[in-house]
Amino acid sequence: MIAKKWKKSLLGSVVLSACAAASAFAEEAPVVNEAPAIESAMMVGLSEGVTLSGYGEAHYGFDFNRPKGGLSLLRAFDQRSNTFTVDNAVLDVAWQKGPVQGRVGLQAGSTPSSYYRAEAGLPGTGVNAASNGSLWQNIQQAWLGYKVNESGSVFVQAGIFLSPIGTEVVPVKDNWNWSRSNLFAFLPAYHSGAKVTWTATPVFSLVGMVCNGWNSAVDTNEAKSVILQGLWTTEKVQAAVLYMGGNERATDAKEGTPWRNLGDAWVSAQLGERFWLMAHVDGGAESTKQGTASWFGAALYAKTQLAERWFLALRGETLGEQLATDAAGVTSDPILMPVKRISSATLTLDWRPTSFLLVRAEGRGDMTDGNGFIEGTPTFTAVGDPIANASKRITATLGVTAWF
């Protein structure tokens, strides 16, 4: 869900300079070795200590399986075929007064509507409002923070945060490809809770968080989840190791209340002036009433600068899940996805005509163990959901994003 290394404008530096190492790491996972031709969002000064930034994303995608209804299953934010889509429009306000900081990012589009679908629906009463994804989806992040010590090395925050799990994030400009990886698509996108960042040295930080759980603005059980992450970053190499644990099943789930363990690690390196490599692994398990359910995934990325404003990125990945089945034949519900395995290869051509605009053309192939995609006209379940009828898929995407 990658901390932005914003280029400091004259007024933006007021917000970022005192806590760049602390708060930037805490907001998302670090930006991984962006190529020299790209600039991060330029902060626009509104008044002393207050800055505004934002971005927009849109794309056209085509699924060569030609699914009737245009639905490309098992994708993060580019699920519609043969249509122009406004992915996201974001306005982000950050402010600082003394040791206190705050940030609110508001969003609208298909992207927030997609990833907030995982938010549980909780009923309301005559005096209490109901809670569901529609209530929260226009908030990308919203938090308050306090620098505990004078140096700013200890930073405490509370609110809604984009997830620090993995190498990829919600803003497409900070990723190497247009489409998100399977690991990104099926792992948490956001958390609601409190966290502490300790910048131990200029290159090493620790982040600890207590939150409601996976994609939970409001908790669905009485248990809280914990996250602990170590971040190491230098000019050429960045790496992170993360653990998350907690009960992520609903209170009345047939699996009981198992403690879910998640381990995540990635490393990114710049090899020469025009070549970057990145690797990401993630796995986890929980002991349900039906037995141990688990998953494991890995992704390998490569990026090269072809010319001053042209880049080429390649991603190969696989993600598999093992369900648990007891002696009576009862199987646990999936943790991540409705198929046992999905593997993908993605090639992305990136053109950056200016420092605040990029255009990407992308081809991608996906394959599942069993049917995971739609080809032609599918059949439907009793509630109207399409039933997957294909195990392979090729898609093409043309996307554009700009920011300020």
State yes or no: pLDDT of 12 exceeds 80: no
CA distance 89 to 104: 14
**Mean pLDDT of all residues in the chain?**
89
Q: What is the mean pLDDT of residues 312-318?
A: 98
pLDDT at 324: 97
Contacts of 179 (CB under 8 A, 6+ apart): 75, 76, 77, 78, 346, 362, 364, 395, 397
Tokens, residue 189: 């996108």
Q: Is it the case that residue 130 has pLDDT exceeding 70?
A: yes
Indicate the range of 12-16, 61-65, 91-95, 172-176 predicted with least confidence. Answer: 12-16
Of 32-36, 230-234, 278-282, which gets the smallest average pLDDT? 32-36
Q: How sure is the predictor about 43, in pLDDT bands with cuts at 50, 70 and 90?
A: low
Inform me whether the pLDDT recorded for 35 exceeds 50: no
Residues 185-190, mean pLDDT to the nearest whole number = 96
Average pLDDT over residues 10-35: 40
Task: Give yes or no for residue 83 having a pLDDT over 50.
Answer: yes
Q: Is the pLDDT of residue 39 over 80?
A: no
Q: Is the pLDDT of residue 394 over 70?
A: yes
Asked if pLDDT for residue 14 goes beyond 60, the answer is no
Task: Check whether 38 has a pLDDT greater than 50.
Answer: no
Q: For residues 167 and 261, give the distance between their C-alpha atoms in angstroms, rounded to a whole number.
A: 19
Which tokens belong to 106?
Answer: 């508001």
Q: Which fold has domain 12-403?
A: Porin (2.40.160)
For residues 325 and 220, the model is more confident at 325
Instruction: Give residue 75's Cα distance to chain centre.
Output: 13
- Cα distance between residue 386 and residue 79, in whole Å: 13
Q: Which residues pair with 157 in a beta bridge?
A: 145, 195
Q: How confident is the model at residue 48 (pLDDT cuts 50, 70, 90)?
A: confident
Terminal-to-terminal C-alpha distance of the chain: 21
Residue 32 has pLDDT above 60, yes or no: no
**Band of residue 8 on the pLDDT scale cut at 50, 70, 90:** very low
How many angstroms separate the CA atoms of 363 and 344, rounded? 11
Per-residue pLDDT at 152:
86
Is residue 103 within 8 A of residue 93, CB to CB? The reply is: yes
Predicted confidence at residue 96, as pLDDT, reads: 94
3-state secondary structure of 127: coil
Write the pLDDT tens digit of every residue in 241-296.
999 999 999 888 999 999 999 999 999 999 999 999 999 999 999 999 999 999 99
- Residue 122 C-beta-side C-alpha neighbours within 13 Å: 15
More confident residue, 48 or 188: 188
Rounded Cα–Cα distance for residues 170 and 87 (Å)? 10
CA neighbor of 242 nearest in space, from 291, 183, 156, 159: 183
Percent of the chain predicted with pLDDT > 90 = 80
The H or E element containing residue 108 is strand 100-108
- pLDDT 10s digits, 113-124: 999 998 988 888
pLDDT at 189 over 70: yes
Task: Dump pLDDT digits (tens) for 330-350.
Answer: 999 999 999 999 999 999 999
CB-CB contact of 31 with 42 (8 Å)? no
- Let me know if 259 is exposed, middle or buried by CB neighbors in 10 A (0-12, 13-18, 19+): middle
Residue 186 has pLDDT above 70, yes or no: yes
Which sign, positive or negative, has the C-alpha torsion 42, 241, 185, 300?
A: positive
pLDDT of residue 26: 38
Q: In the chain, what percentage of residues exceed pLDDT 70?
A: 89
Query: Which of 184, 163, 164, 171 is CA-nearest to residue 301?
Result: 184
- Specify the pLDDT at position 125: 84
Pick left, alpha or beta for residue 184 (phi over 0 → left; psi -120 to 50 → alpha; otherwise beta).
alpha
Asked if residue 56 has pLDDT above 70, the reply is yes
Average pLDDT over residues 67-86: 94
Q: What is the pLDDT of residues 140-171, one digit of tens each?
A: 999 999 999 988 899 999 999 999 999 999 99
